[in-house]
Amino acid sequence: MNAVTPTAQLSGLEQLRAAFDPDRPERAPGIGRTMGFTVIEIEEGRVVFGGTPDESVYNPIGTVHGGYAATLLDSAVGCAVHSVLKAGQGYTTLELKVAYHRAMTKHTGPVRAEGRVVQAGRRAAFAEGRLTDAEGRLYATATSTLLVFDR
């Protein structure tokens, strides 16, 4: 989505709902298809993504690569901020800090990355995220600082 598309006239929440319309899965951003995750929930200030890691995202030591958790969390916190933007605004990540609490494997099963806005201002937004499994075990957390700008 860029400034010359009709979506620029929509609020951030409306843009996300259009991008993740279950009746139009081809509209979903490619990173989800590439890494095998999808949006589960979208509301103002909060977005949840879910996926099930498998060997396709393993690192050389036989566990899920940290980039899988980082990507899920970056998507969740970024989209949480996207959900509070006004029409004509955009954002970009300035900083993402991920803390890994336990390793994932193909046996971990489905995971959820929940992103929440902590504070959103005119120029900067702050969000945090948690990556958990179906039993609620914590695998990773993230904090993010994002730049908000007019498109």
Reply yes or no on whether the pLDDT at 2 is more than 70: no
Which residues, 6 or more positions from 4, have their beta carbon under 8 angstroms from its beta carbon?
A: none
Question: Per-domain residue ranges for the chain?
Answer: 6-150
Confidence of residue 3 (pLDDT cuts 50, 70, 90): very low
* pTM reported for the whole predicted model: 0.92
User: 35 by DSSP, 3-state: which?
Assistant: helix
78 with 96: CB under 8 angstroms? Answer: no
45 with 80: CB under 8 angstroms? Answer: yes
Specify the pLDDT at position 23: 84
Taking the C-alpha atoms of residue 75 and residue 73, their distance in angstroms, rounded to an integer, is: 5
Specify the pLDDT at position 127: 98
Q: Which one of 3.10.20.90, 3.10.129.10, 2.60.40.650, 3.10.20.30 gives the CATH number of domain 6-150? A: 3.10.129.10
Q: What is the pLDDT of residues 128-150, one digit of tens each?
A: 999 999 999 999 999 999 999 99
- Comparing 44 with 30, the larger pLDDT belongs to 44
DSSP string covering 82-133: HTTPPTTEEEEEEEEEEEE-S---TTS--EEEEEEEEEE-SSEEEEEEEEEE
109: left (phi over 0), alpha (psi -120 to 50) or beta: left
Taking the C-alpha atoms of residue 84 and residue 128, their distance in angstroms, rounded to an integer, is: 14
Confidence of residue 6 (pLDDT cuts 50, 70, 90): low
Confidence of residue 126 (pLDDT cuts 50, 70, 90): very high
CB-based burial, 111-130: b 16+ in 10 Å, e otherwise:
bbbbbbbeebeeeebbbbbb
